[in-house]
């Protein structure tokens, strides 16, 4: 009787078969050797990223500040969409550049780099969570918003604003508890808008980079995506 030889998977093999890498490949579409198709996909990604940067910039320009350390803004919607539909890198760029360009167009005080990094991380975190889990898309969006709210808005943004505005008169925790209810409400609104927008973009087959096969295959692909999400 022949003995079965157990093959031990290397770290590289495990990484290639991981859910993150598999989903990342799906995000970028089917592999192709056509230079023309590669160039078209790259151009499309740059164009989509540019459009979302413009939207994030616009939303940053029209941000409303009821109090100097509270902001009513929808800029995280295009940022988060960039992360989940174009990948973590595009998500970070949309958030960071949207914040920077918004400040250059309509500066309100000194530029705060930490706020820009925090804005970019909204997109990066959304992209990483979307690639790491195979659950319903709205669960992934909600998880991404919760993580981003806790780390980016509650910690990084609050810490930055506390350093700038407190002048040693208030503690970080005082700023946190003052900001948290308002930011939770804002995150809930943005999360709802992101879920609705993502669903409609999926129906319209925007941000798709797979090769076109046939209408039948396109319908089956959409149904498969819905089941996985």
**Full residue range of the structural domain in which residue 171 is found:** 34-216
- For the purposes of burial, counting CB atoms within 10 Å of the CB of 79, is it exposed (0-12), middle (13-18) or buried (19 or more)? buried
On whether residue 41 sits in a domain, the answer given is: yes
Does this model's pTM top 0.75? My answer is: yes
On whether residue 129 sits in a domain, the answer given is: yes
Query: pLDDT by residue (tens digit) across 37-77?
Result: 767 777 888 899 999 999 999 999 988 777 666 778 899 99
On whether residue 1 sits in a domain, the answer given is: no
Reference 95, options 65, 73, 110, 75; nearest CA is: 75
Query: pLDDT by residue (tens digit) across 114-145?
Result: 999 999 999 999 999 998 888 899 999 999 99
Q: Which CATH number does the domain housing residue 139 bear?
A: 1.10.1760.20
Reference 59, options 85, 81, 88; nearest CA is: 81
In total, how many domains does the chain have? 1
On whether residue 130 sits in a domain, the answer given is: yes
Q: Dihedral sign for Cα 212, 125, 113, 162, please.
A: positive
Query: Residues 71, 63: contact at Cβ < 8 Å?
Result: yes
Classified as helix, coil or strand, 19 is helix
Mean pLDDT of the chain: 81
Residue 174, Ramachandran bin (φ over 0: left; ψ between -120 and 50: alpha; else beta): alpha
On whether residue 9 sits in a domain, the answer given is: no
C-alpha–C-alpha distance, residues 137 and 67, integer Å: 34
On whether residue 20 sits in a domain, the answer given is: no
């Amino acid at each position: 009787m022949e003995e079965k030889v157990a093959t031990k998977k290397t770290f590289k093999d495990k990484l290639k078969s991981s859910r993150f890498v598999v989903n990342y490949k799906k995000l970028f579409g089917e592999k192709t050797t056509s230079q023309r198709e590669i160039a078209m996909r790259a151009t499309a990604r740059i164009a989509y990223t540019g459009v979302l940067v413009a939207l994030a910039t616009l939303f940053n320009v029209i941000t409303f500040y009821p109090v100097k350390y509270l902001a009513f803004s929808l800029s995280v919607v295009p940022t988060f969409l960039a992360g989940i539909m174009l990948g973590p890198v595009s998500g970070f760029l949309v958030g960071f550049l949207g914040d920077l360009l918004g400040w250059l167009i309509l500066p309100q005080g000194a530029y705060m780099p930490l706020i820009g990094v925090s804005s970019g991380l909204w997109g990066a975190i959304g992209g990483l969570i979307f690639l790491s889990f195979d659950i319903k898309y709205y669960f992934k969006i909600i998880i991404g918003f919760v993580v981003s709210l806790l780390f980016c808005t509650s910690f990084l943004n609050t810490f930055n604003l506390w350093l700038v505005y407190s002048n040693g008169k208030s503690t970080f925790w005082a700023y946190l508890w003052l900001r948290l209810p308002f930011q939770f409400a804002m995150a809930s609104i943005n999360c709802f808008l992101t879920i609705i927008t993502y669903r409609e973009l999926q129906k319209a087959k925007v941000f798709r980079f797979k090769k076109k096969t046939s209408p039948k295959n396109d319908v089956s692909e959409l149904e498969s995506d819905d089941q996985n999400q």
